[in-house]
Amino acid sequence: MNKEKRTEIFSRLRRENPEPKTELKYSSTFELLISVILSAQATDISVNKATERLYAIANTPEKIFALGVSGLKPYIKTIGLFNTKAVNVIKTCDILVQEHNSVVPDKRELLEALPGVGRKTANVVLNTAFRQIAMAVDTHIFRISNRTGIAPGKNVLEVERRLIKLVPEEFLLDAHHWLILHGRYVCLARKPRCGACVVEDLCEFRKKVYAE
């Protein structure tokens, strides 16, 4: 796929959604961090339901840490892997208080040093909260990058690096959100809604389907 086609794809996605946003609900960088930690192998809807109750009573590192693991679990028990996540969230809150003056760091290495924060989580926080160029490749982005031909790769890291290199610069800050939302609602895993897709005519997957 050439630069002109990628530019047209993202131009159309931008026209459809000029200001794409994460569907996680948060009111601070700290809340975003915790929500993203909780969202691993869980839906944004389930996380939002849990954090609505949690953040109403504890939405700072100090307050969540004060809950302790046992006090946090009842709020997040409807989320997958909640036992492990509860431990990680409490440890992360402790580190934020002790080492970062309760402020979420804006450096990748510092974010990835927090329990429960991997590369994808760090990328979401860097991009969404701090507006740094970062590409959090989840299952949706990995699928779309390969299916459409935008940035094919054999693994998540390869796709991430190719997206950063190949997505036209003017779209890089928001490309993460456009691709996730497109994968979540249009370019579905089992039955992509090609007829409702604004980039259908530019997609490599469509060419393969029509060729068969």
Query: Where in the sequence numbering do the catalytic residues fall?
Result: 120, 138
Report d(CA 202, CA 19) in Å as an integer.
22
Helix (H), strand (E) counts: the chain = 11, 0
The length of the chain in residues reads 212
Closest of 177, 190, 189, 165 to residue 137, by C-alpha: 177
Report d(CA 109, CA 140) in Å as an integer.
25
At 60 the three-state DSSP class reads coil
CA distances from 48 to 26, 175, 177 (A): 9, 23, 17
Closest of 7, 1, 3, 4 to residue 175, by C-alpha: 7
Residue 101 corresponds to which amino acid?
N
Token pair of 6 as six digits: 């990628």
